[in-house]
Structure 1
């Protein structure tokens, strides 16, 4: 009987939740076939079978939390398991065949004295364990089991002839301990629940939502987070976009949106203020020499931040195309781990939902995030003191005050403002 275990998923991902079983007990599988889908902190991943055979046992249910290395199912490589998934059936058949010649003699030996099992030697290895309730184990192994409070009859030995070893006992004790820890955690969680006198609906948070909640709280606890604001006159950008959008789409096959302008402006400002493109590792400041820009995308399962790689090397069309592809993959649930890993700075646009102003939370370990907002017409005092109605956008930058001073943060945001308000210069430089 072979075991399917939760494999190494990715760097920093050690656990997941069983989202959906793709097979049932008794199903035939081939090596490499996907058998279960796990929901992790970032994306859903499929776990494949490393063996060909029949699914004999499914050990966890949908909604259960599992960790890397956990056994989640068993495969009978003989392919003879019944639909009921009796995990011991094929082993019993093999044992019967091997022991048919010596079975009568061994049974007589057992009838004479059960104590001979305690002194089991090489002859004991041929016993049919299915015909005796007494597990085969050495006295030292039995003593260790008593010390750890382990019932030998509940242990499935790794030894092909059924002898229980000290290692089996230690493994069972560890499994029992881990199970106890998980149970205590569940009890702690249930103890925190508040009962209500009026009707409520309880729904378990998805693993992704739990992770989002955890990371946002961690960001507030670990970073000295501060937010600075500015206001951008969108007149010129909207004019350029209106003039170029049809020709742009006809030539490149993608729409010319605001995100490419802001991405280019952010990259330009990051080059002038490299600390905003850094992160803290221990007592070191790591200044990144690349510009991988995360773009926050809202999905039904929560916020994800896929990364536009090497944004400084992409054209406006390249950025728009990349953002469009990543957003579609996010909505379809097809983002891979490589789409989400890394990133040196993040842009989030709450304006698409109507947000006028907000204070974005850092996407740690990054030390800066830019928040875009709703464009709204407001009166603006012009250089000649006249007042005009202009399309305005509030922009916000949250930053980690541990390595970014207020002066740098304000100047960074002001530089972004200048480039957005002068998109012709931005287009030429981009």
Structure 2
């Protein structure tokens, strides 16, 4: 018997959540074939078979939390194939003669040999619940993936039995079924669940304070248009923002630091690893652009595109999701004007960039004209960063945005 356990595949990994099963009891699997998909606090991973064999048991249902070291699957290997095949071929049926033992036809289905019953698709936790509620899984229709029976199916089956005992209950049931549902429920799972937990931890442990600026981006728009004449793939604004943030962090390194809570020390980082928040179908993720201080603007653009593609296809690795020293969140052209972004510990600051909109502005000759402005919000840990430092940081960031030719002095 081969036991497949949930191993620590990344630094600091403690638990995960079952996203989906690829196999069920009785399935034949080959070495390295995917068995189950697990969502950790950073990325979804597939646990594969370590040997060829047959699935004896699976442990846990979709949405269940598992701990590193837990057994996920038990495989029958070596010479157990024949035994499993014989079970599938109903070995007990050949021994049971209806003429010799007519009582079999009168027995409740619970008392029949397992081979006479149809194989039920249900996790161990679901079987346990069914046993506690005295529900026969043979009579329950599964609504899960591949007709798998869920805990909700078991509970609904129990509710149906209770209602059948009362005529009044039947009337109530008919009334409810004829009325339109008043709500729709969706279980919090996967990346969304990790965000749900991480945001709660961040807000409860870090005193967030946010500074908001309005920045004229007219000259930056012109710079981007000029740069796109010389690059093969159109450059977005984000690579330019990333490079500017890197330059400002060098001037004010407290924003690129972290807090060692145990030793009560500020740890200054020698490299700039920028977390770039992006929305995907699975939820919000923050891949990390490493060593920004060593990259040109064109290299940043290429590397950001690679991270974006990997994020949208759920192909990011653990290394691409850890080690951020500062984060940027861009709401895009359809985003709001301002927001209060939430930091991820141990980082001490996060910058959120918002929609660019046209509005009346004061031009350089002090005339009133139409310009394009962008809101920028900086959330920071007020335990180690004060208002003066925030003002200096945002003034420097604004200066590069409104006078982008200054970048030539630093590149």
Query: Which interval holds the TM-score relative to the shorter structure?
Result: 0.7 to 0.9
Please state if 1:238 is matched with 2:217: no
Tell me how far apart the structure 1 counterparts of residues 66 and 10 of structure 2 sit (CA, whole Å).
15
The alpha carbon displacement at 1:64 in A equals: 2.6
Q: 1:424 to 1:82 in 2, by over 3 A?
A: farther
The alpha carbon displacement at 1:11 in A equals: 2.3
Please state if 1:290 is matched with 2:271: yes
Match in the other structure for 1:77: 77
1:25-424 → structure 2 map (5 Å cutoff):
25-81=25-81, 199-249=182-232, 254-282=233-261, 283-424=264-405
SS at match of 1:231: strand
Q: 1:328 to 1:85 in 2, by over 3 A?
A: farther
- Shifted more, 339-348 versus 419-428: the winner is 419-428
Tell me how far apart the structure 1 counterparts of residues 388 and 86 of structure 2 sit (CA, whole Å).
70
SS at match of 1:46: strand
CA RMSD of aligned residues (A): 2.3
The alpha carbon displacement at 1:281 in A equals: 0.9
SS at match of 2:80: coil
Tell me how far apart the structure 1 counterparts of residues 323 and 375 of structure 2 sit (CA, whole Å).
27
Tell me how far apart the structure 1 counterparts of residues 79 and 220 of structure 2 sit (CA, whole Å).
66
Equivalent residues, number? 319
SS at match of 2:45: strand
SS at match of 1:356: coil
Tell me how far apart the structure 2 counterparts of residues 256 and 428 of structure 1 sit (CA, whole Å).
21
Give the conservation status (yes or no) of the 8 Å contact 2:191–2:285: no
Match in the other structure for 1:19: 19
Instruction: With the length of structure 1 as denominator, give the TM-score of the two structures.
Output: 0.70
Q: Structure 1: give runs of 5+ residues left out of the alignment.
A: 88-182, 184-196
The alpha carbon displacement at 1:9 in A equals: 3.0
Tell me how far apart the structure 2 counterparts of residues 383 and 34 of structure 1 sit (CA, whole Å).
62
The alpha carbon displacement at 1:323 in A equals: 0.9
The alpha carbon displacement at 1:207 in A equals: 3.2
Match in the other structure for 2:6: 6
- Name the structure with the higher helix share: 1
- Shifted more, 238-247 versus 55-64: the winner is 55-64
Instruction: With the length of structure 2 as denominator, give the TM-score of the two structures.
Output: 0.73
Give the conservation status (yes or no) of the 8 Å contact 2:217–2:374: yes
The alpha carbon displacement at 1:351 in A equals: 3.0
CA deviation profile, 1:169-228 (whole Å, cap 9, x unmatched): xxxxxxxxxxxxxx9xxxxxxxxxxxxx97212221013212212211222221121111
Q: 1:210 to 1:4 in 2, by over 3 A?
A: same
Tell me how far apart the structure 1 counterparts of residues 85 and 20 of structure 2 sit (CA, whole Å).
19
Give the conservation status (yes or no) of the 8 Å contact 1:370–1:397: yes
